[in-house]
């Protein structure tokens, strides 16, 4: 098989794989990685259109960090205007692919310039750049795909070729369709969560986005430490991010008098509140997909504690009995608690403590971290606490990206 046919076959297989990914962030990681593989590029980034600006949404760089590893740069909140003054803005404005052989020596008559700030902060040197629009079948530009520093098979710098351009443009047009679909999926989930937000003022869109992102990255760090296959990790992260966003969806069934109380709950009120875990799990009692199964598992188990003092505990007839007849059981303990429940527990508590609520001020960051560390072995899985601190720069970046 010729090189050209092999590349086309690879693109077609990858496009089919993109259609199976539901979560936007996992999808962007796959798209950028595969675009780089098509051109043997060292680095790259994706910008998505948001509020009439280009938002720096995803980045990979093999020199600075492995493409499969977590990077705090992923959660950058950088935005730029859509105009011809920047390379990405020019491509988004014109809808045309741009290839640059030497970013530091651009002709003076070009309308755009190269922003060296990332290179300076990261001690990196950008040379060749190919930037192409992410354009849907309807001609709508939803973002920009940028790949940086083409390399030959000996990993020496080369320029991007016309063949590279053809491959990437074809791939990008299909990737844009997958991105648009993933954006719709996330929007549908966020709209569903707005029902909870209407009932519970603590359940903000920023909170659920943070908990989802914390959980996905914490799972990734744990799974990598366990030696799980990278493809398996990415597939699971795809579901975990979305499912963790639904961790408190059962609160829609709790009384407003409890949800909206601007003070600490009484013991009786807290006992009622515990049932939100059961209501949440019962929403997914007939799972049609792995996403449903994981969502139910997290909703039910994210308040269990490592030492067995959590809730709702071991229940009988969770789905077949009237919920008013369900008595809370003895808590699950240690590894009896599903790993995703243990992960979401850390994500949820961390965000609750470090964020302001109607009934409390935000805790000081050092106070929060000391509490999280102290709760290892009692509230939290101690191994997961180690992973949490390993990626704490990423956790902070997530918090910065999804502000209240």
- pLDDT-derived band at 404 (thresholds 50, 70, 90) equals confident
Residues with a catalytic annotation lie at 251
Q: What is the pLDDT of residues 141-152, one digit of tens each?
A: 999 999 999 998
In this prediction, residues 192-205 reach a mean pLDDT of: 67
Kindly report, residue by residue over 371-403, the tens digit of the pLDDT: 999 999 999 999 999 999 999 999 998 998 888
Of 51-65, 211-225, 301-315, least confident by mean pLDDT is: 51-65
Residue 38's nearest CA partner among 84, 4, 73, 83 is 4
Both tokens of 379, joined, read 């509230």
DSSP string, 71-101: -GGGG---EEESSTTBHHHHHHHH---EEES
pLDDT(156) > 70: yes
Res 351 pLDDT > 70: yes
Which of residues 67 and 54 earns the better pLDDT score? 54
87-129: pLDDT as tens digits: 999 999 999 999 999 999 999 999 999 989 888 888 899 999 9
| Domains within the chain, CATH numbers bracketed | 3-183 (3.30.450.40), 200-401 (1.10.3210.10)
Per-residue pLDDT, 107: 93
At residue 159, φ and ψ (nearest 5 deg) are -100, 160
């Amino acid at each position: 098989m010729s090189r050209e046919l092999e590349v086309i076959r690879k693109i077609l297989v990858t496009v089919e794989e993109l259609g199976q990914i539901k979560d936007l962030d996992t999808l962007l990681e796959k798209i950028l990685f595969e675009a780089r593989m098509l051109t043997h590029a060292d680095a790259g980034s994706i910008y998505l259109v948001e509020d009439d600006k280009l938002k720096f949404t995803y980045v990979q760089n093999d020199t600075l960090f492995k493409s499969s590893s977590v990077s705090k740069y992923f959660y950058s909140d950088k935005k730029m205007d859509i105009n011809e003054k920047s390379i990405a803005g020019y491509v988004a404005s014109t809808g045309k692919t741009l290839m640059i052989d030497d970013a530091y020596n651009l002709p003076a008559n070009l309308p755009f310039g190269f922003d060296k700030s990332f290179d300076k902060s990261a001690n990196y040197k950008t040379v060749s750049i190919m930037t192409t629009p992410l354009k849907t079948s309807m001609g709508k530009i939803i973002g920009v795909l940028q790949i940086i520093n083409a390399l030959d098979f000996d990993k020496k710098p080369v320029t991007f070729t016309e063949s590279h351009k053809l491959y990437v443009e074809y791939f990008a047009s299909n990737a844009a369709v997958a991105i648009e679909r993933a954006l719709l999926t996330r929007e549908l989930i966020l709209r569903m969560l707005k029902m909870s937000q209407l009932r519970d003022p603590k359940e903000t869109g920023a909170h659920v986005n943070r908990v989802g992102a914390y959980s996905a990255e914490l799972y990734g760090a744990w799974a990598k430490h366990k030696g799980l296959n990278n493809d398996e990790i990415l597939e699971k992260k795809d579901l975990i991010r979305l499912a963790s966003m639904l961790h408190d969806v059962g609160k829609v069934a709790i009384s407003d008098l409890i949800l909206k109380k601007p003070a600490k709950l009484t013991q009786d009120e807290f006992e009622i509140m515990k049932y939100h875990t059961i209501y949440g799990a019962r929403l997914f009692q007939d799972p049609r997909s792995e996403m449903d199964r994981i969502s139910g598992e997290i909703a039910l188990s994210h308040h269990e504690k490592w030492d067995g003092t959590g809730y709702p505990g071991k229940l009988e007839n969770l789905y077949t009995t009237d919920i008013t007849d369900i008595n809370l059981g003895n808590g699950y303990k240690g590894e009896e608690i599903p790993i995703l429940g243990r992960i979401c527990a850390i994500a949820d508590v961390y965000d609750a403590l470090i964020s302001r609520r109607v009934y409390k001020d935000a805790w000081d960051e050092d106070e929060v971290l000391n509490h999280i560390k102290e709760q290892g072995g009692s509230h939290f899985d101690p191994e997961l606490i180690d992973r949490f601190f390993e990626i704490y720069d990423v956790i902070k970046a997530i918090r910065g990206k999804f502000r209240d």
